[in-house]
Chain A
Amino acid sequence: MKKARKVAMAPERGAVEISIQGVWKEFLMKNGRLSALEDISIDVRKGEFLCVIGPSGCGKSTLLSIIAGLTTPERGRVLIGGKEVKGPGRDRVVMFQESALFPWLTAIQNIEFGLKMKGVREKERKGLALHYLGLVSLERFGNSYIHELSGGMKQRVALARALAMDPEVLLMDEPFAALDALSRDQFHKELQEIWMKTGHTIIFVTHNVSEAVCLGDRVVLFTYRPGKVKEEFCIEYPRPRESRGAPKLDAIESKILRELEVEYARYREEMLHDGRV
């Protein structure tokens, strides 16, 4: 008998694009097992912008990696458009937490990489790559190598590379965490504009509450280890949203912040007690 589980799902209608069904993930450590994810069930609708928030180490990156097909869960499964995830696929692209751009390629060659793997011909590839480079306002830096770009520019290239794949699902792992507040606001605006045009289904991981509230149709809050869905918040507010200043968003933000505080308190406590991070 399967026990009934609470499935987090957006209220609007629309086909379910990503269905995370009872996912568990453990890691074997020197001193026993570490339960990273426990019974995660989330449905994400086509074209939805879902934000996942939780304290450091609660398994957010692990969940993205499972959806991407790079990690296999101990239990449960993930369906994309009704098909079970068995490995990486071009319908899902990940924008990783740390820069995963290839240092031996220029910005434009990085964007072309996925297209090349897709078998797009060289001429067409160049044009497409230029288009996406323009979309992130980096036309002038196409021929720069990655280490010649600033942190923000690197994330722009990474975004362009992901978008160029034109995937159904975009998995973003704290892509703007290392940026200053103003560049991040700018990114939030641009990402919303791009998303409203392209209609990708996005799962966006962050531990920044105002970012989650600004971007998400829905915010799912994870508990600290093992990561479980603690609560979800629907954010109905017209777009494009500003990063700050809307009273209604501020109210939700402080509510989420209070919940997150509780999880961070557990995180600190555990660190004090057994020195693990």
Chain B
Amino acid sequence: MMGESSLAFILFCLAIILIWQAVAEAGFWPDYIFPSPAGVLFAIIHGIGDESFLHGTIASLKRMALGFGLALMIGVALGVGISQSRLLERTLGTLVLGLQTLPSICWLPLALLWFGLNDKAIIFVVVMGAVGSITMAISSGISNVPPIYVNAARTMGARGWSLFSEVIFPAALPTMVSGARQGWSFAWRSLMAGELLYVSAGLGLLLQMGRELNDINQVVAVMLVIMTIGFLIERLFFTTIEEDVRRKWGLGKRKA
């Protein structure tokens, strides 16, 4: 099953590369406007060889790890608070929902004014990208725990912290994991936007450098790297955890 679909995907990629190569060779556009697969491949090999991709990736992932870690901590605290108090739900909960409609890159100018031209500003944008989804997922996960689980646990003597850690938390976990995945993907998009606008190391810088040097092969190569890393973390890491949890919980596949 899996083998069949990955085979189909590989064939699909090969076909695209062949068509791409054919169009590039036909020479409708000069090669500084339309890159060729070979040129991009060379840029990738070059980027790997001089370790610029590695350092860029490490710089970006460090920011992600820091920002996402902070967002997790803040999101869990806010989410638990909102789920426990009607008042917080109506005030803070509504505010978080409202802020979620603001693309988090819009925080960058403010962050630059607050923190100056440094990493703090960009990490702030990452935090703002992830924290809303995480908060909402934690609070809705907790408030939608079926009361029957809580009641059953209470008749078996679960109280306070043990009720939370042994019943409410695991019951809400599938929703929380989905929220974390969504938070990560928002944060990743904001980070890339941030690194393009305010340039200092990272994959966004490499992309921007490609443009400044008029090196279209480098631009496309970095785009492929960004896509691959996004795919690996979002699809493989988070989605695998999410599906594992859902399978174990007997929930079946998530739609779409």
Q: Which residues of A are interface residues toward B (Cβ below 8 A)?
A: 65, 68-70, 87-90, 92-94, 96, 98, 100, 102-105, 113-114, 116-118, 145-148, 161, 165
Among A69, A93, A104, A148: residue with most chain B CB under 10 A: A104
Q: Which residues of B are interface residues toward A (Cβ below 8 A)?
A: 148-149, 151-158, 162, 166-167, 170-171, 173, 248-251
B250 touches A68 (CB 8 A): no
Q: Which of B149, B155, B173, B250 contacts A93 (CB 8 A)?
A: B155
A90 touches B156 (CB 8 A): yes
Chain A residues positioned under 8 Å from B170 (CB to CB): 102, 104-105
B151 touches A104 (CB 8 A): no
A98 touches B250 (CB 8 A): no
A147 to B171, alpha carbons, bound, how many Å? 14
A114 touches B157 (CB 8 A): yes
Chain B residues positioned under 8 Å from A89 (CB to CB): 157
Majority-rule SS of B interface residues:
helix
Known: A70-B151, A96-B151, A113-B166. A104 touches B248 (CB 8 A): yes
B155 touches A68 (CB 8 A): yes
A92 touches B250 (CB 8 A): no
B149 touches A102 (CB 8 A): yes
B111 to chain A, nearest CB (A): 39
B249 touches A103 (CB 8 A): yes
A146 to B171, alpha carbons, bound, how many Å? 14
Among B149, B155, B251: residue with most chain A CB under 10 A: B155
Chain B residues positioned under 8 Å from A148 (CB to CB): 250
Name the 8 nearest CB pairs between A and B, nearest first. A147-B250, A114-B156, A100-B152, A117-B157, A104-B170, A88-B154, A88-B155, A100-B148
B245 to chain A, nearest CB (A): 8
- The residue in chain A whose Cβ has the minimal distance to the Cβ of B159 is A117
**Contact sample, A vs B, 6 pairs, CB 8 Å cutoff:** A70-B154, A93-B156, A94-B155, A100-B149, A102-B167, A117-B158
Chain A residues positioned under 8 Å from B250 (CB to CB): 103, 145-148
- The residue in chain A whose Cβ has the minimal distance to the Cβ of B157 is A117
- The residue in chain B whose Cβ has the minimal distance to the Cβ of A87 is B154
Known: A102-B171, A103-B250. A118 touches B155 (CB 8 A): no
Chain A residues positioned under 8 Å from B166 (CB to CB): 113, 116-117
B151 touches A165 (CB 8 A): no
Chain A residues positioned under 8 Å from B154 (CB to CB): 70, 87-88
A148 to B247, alpha carbons, bound, how many Å? 10
B167 touches A118 (CB 8 A): no
B157 touches A96 (CB 8 A): no
A19 to chain B, nearest CB (A): 19
- The residue in chain B whose Cβ has the minimal distance to the Cβ of A115 is B156
A70 to B253, alpha carbons, bound, how many Å? 34
Q: Which of B148, B155, B171 contacts A104 (CB 8 A)?
A: B171
B244 to chain A, nearest CB (A): 12
A201 to chain B, nearest CB (A): 15
